């Protein structure tokens, strides 16, 4: 009797669990497919392989961008890519995914959604590549006629990317910070005023406002841009100027006036 009951219980559990197991297997296969397609798509984006890039979309494709608005239709989209992103006269843009941010969700009887975060690097002629933006993305993939194509793309929450992430903030005394406060004059920026804010320096120049953090006792960095500020002393040990660098290149030199 007990053997019969256990046998029926196992059969019931097998029948109950089988659909869930099959669904999990199907979802795993779907995720692998979408991730592979996503990888190929972004490779064509980064290399400006326009011929391949075009094959990932349906004709009535729609692109929603929080800054650029709506782009309707593949023809309009490709024109924008050819004249903007892939125009050799324009700065080159390279996209990288934020590791661990990507998720894939099935869409019953339609396809799948992939969502995540990515960053964009910009390369201008004569300059080093720089990290520019971080944003979120959502792509809708449709499986139709045995083909996978994107029908909708959303790109949103674009923000300036964190900068100088390789630099570590240290703690310095108020005595050190006091050496740098005052007024500076710079050829391009004009009047620059530096004050103390907590354990950092606050830099104001016209409409520009920045909080900079000490990397060493004489070198400070900005967390929202690739800028560093180095304070130089004269032979008497008094701060005489500040050198501003962007991506390691000198872009401004401000002399301390008072």
Domain with CATH 2.40.128 in the chain: 174-256
pLDDT at 163: 75
Neighbours of 120 (CB within 10 A): 15
pLDDT at 126: 84
pLDDT at 135: 95
CATH top-level class of 2-160 = alpha beta
Beta bridge partners of 136: 117, 156
Phi, psi of 46 (to 5 degrees): -65, -30
Q: Which helix (H) or strand (E) covers residue 8, if one does?
A: helix 2-47
CATH top-level class of 174-256 = mainly beta
pLDDT in tens, 202-223: 999 988 889 999 999 999 999 8
Task: Give the C-alpha separation, 114 to 118, whole Å.
Answer: 12
Considering the entire predicted model, what is its pTM? 0.63
pLDDT at 208: 82
**Residue that the structure tokens 């992939």 belong to:** 114
The CA angle 231-233-239, to the nearest 5 degrees, is: 70
pLDDT in tens, 215-250: 999 999 998 888 999 999 999 999 999 999 988 889
Spatial CB neighbours of 257, under 8 Å, sequence gap ≥ 6: 182, 183, 184, 185
Q: What is the DSSP string of 40-83?
A: HHHHHHHHT-HHHHHTTEEEEEEEEETTTEEEESHHHHHHHIII
Domain with CATH 3.10.450.50 in the chain: 2-160
pLDDT at 169: 92
Give me the residues of the chain with pLDDT under 70, please: 1-26
pLDDT at 6: 46
Task: Give the C-alpha separation, 22 to 94, whole Å.
Answer: 38
């Amino acid at each position: 009797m007990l053997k019969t009951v256990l046998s029926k219980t196992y059969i019931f559990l097998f029948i109950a669990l089988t659909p869930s197991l099959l669904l999990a297997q199907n979802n795993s296969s779907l995720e692998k497919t979408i991730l592979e397609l996503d990888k190929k798509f972004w490779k064509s984006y980064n290399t400006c392989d326009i011929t391949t890039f075009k094959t990932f979309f349906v004709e009535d494709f729609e692109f929603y961008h929080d800054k650029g608005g709506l782009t309707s239709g593949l023809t309009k989209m490709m024109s924008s890519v050819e004249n903007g992103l892939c125009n050799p006269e324009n700065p080159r843009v390279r996209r990288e995914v934020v590791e661990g941010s990507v998720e894939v969700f099935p869409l019953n009887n339609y396809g799948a959604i992939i969502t995540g975060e990515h960053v964009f690097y910009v390369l201008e002629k004569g300059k080093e590549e720089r990290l520019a933006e971080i944003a979120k993305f959502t792509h809708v993939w449709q499986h139709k006629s045995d083909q996978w194509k994107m029908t909708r793309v959303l790109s949103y929450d674009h923000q300036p990317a964190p900068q100088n992430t390789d630099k570590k903030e240290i703690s310095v005394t108020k005595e050190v910070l006091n050496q740098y406060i005052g007024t500076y004059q710079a050829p391009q920026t004009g009047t620059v005023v530096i004050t103390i804010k907590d354990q950092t320096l606050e830099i104001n120049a016209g409409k520009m406002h920045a909080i900079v953090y000490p990397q060493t006792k004489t070198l400070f960095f900005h967390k929202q841009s690739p800028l560093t500020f180095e304070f130089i002393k004269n032979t008497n040990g008094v701060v005489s100027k500040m050198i501003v660098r962007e991506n390691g290149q000198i872009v401004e030199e401000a002399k301390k006036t008072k």
